[in-house]
């Protein structure tokens, strides 16, 4: 049975194997991951028993804007509605009910997010990547 949690009680040892599965999150260190977990505003995770099988996190002012980052479902668990439930739990999270606009970046998962009501008609994003300026 898959269960969901909004506890920040996740260790980097549990999370890094998930991050290793995606090109955009592989190579993250234990120290940076510990810091990220402590300083994210809302964290949603999916578990089968003690195994972490899904993750997503939110940075927000709790009123006007929230951004969703690092959404990832274990490859062995994809296609089982876990990602959908995890995003719904973020959108419905009690601490985020006042948030006017949720924002996220995705290179190739637009179809997944569109099923959840996200739109890509407002393409206003720009990025500054420190790795390209050093
Ligand atoms: C994208 C991701 C989070 C989706 O999670 P998931 O648990 O596999 O998705 P679900 O089972 O909830 O799928 C929900 C719907 O989205 C569709 N979907 C899932 N992944 C998709 C994809 N890559 N492309 C198009 N549609 C997709 C499913 O077909 C399903 O539609 P259906 O109900 O009509 O069959 C997951 O595949 C993942 O972690 N991918 C690798 C990491 C990644 O790229 N994360 C996104 C960063 S923005």
Going from the Cα of 112 to the center of ligand 1, the distance in angstroms, rounded, reads: 5
Bridge partner residues of 73 (DSSP): 54
What pLDDT band is residue 130 in, cutting at 50, 70 and 90? confident
CB distance 85 to 103 below 8 Å: no
Find the 104 Cα to ligand 1 centroid distance in Å.
Answer: 15
Which atom number of ligand 1 is nearest to the Cα of residue 56?
Answer: 3
What pLDDT was estimated at residue 125? 84
Q: Please tell me the pTM assigned to this model.
A: 0.93
7 CA → ligand 1 middle, Å = 23
Pocket of ligand 1 (CB under 6 A): 22, 71-73, 78-84, 106, 109, 111-112, 115
Tell me what pLDDT residue 122 has.
Answer: 80
User: What domains are there in the chain, each with its CATH number?
Assistant: 2-118 (3.40.630.30)
CA pair distance 36, 16, nearest whole angstrom: 12
**Each residue of 90-121: pLDDT tens digit?**
999 999 999 999 999 999 999 999 999 999 99
């Amino acid at each position: 049975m898959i269960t969901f949690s909004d506890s920040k009680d996740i260790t980097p040892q549990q999370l890094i194997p998930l991050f290793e599965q995606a090109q955009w999150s592989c190579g993250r260190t234990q120290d940076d991951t510990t810091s990220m977990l402590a300083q994210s505003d809302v964290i949603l995770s999916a578990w089968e028993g003690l195994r972490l099988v899904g993750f997503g996190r939110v940075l927000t002012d709790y009123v006007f804007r929230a951004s969703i980052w690092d959404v990832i479902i274990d490859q062995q668990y994809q296609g089982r509605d876990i990602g959908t439930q995890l995003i719904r739990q973020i959108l419905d999270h009690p601490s985020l009910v006042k948030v006017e606009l949720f924002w996220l970046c995705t290179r190739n998962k637009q179809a997944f997010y569109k099923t959840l009501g996200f739109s890509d008609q407002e393409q206003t994003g720009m990025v500054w990547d420190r790795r390209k300026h050093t």
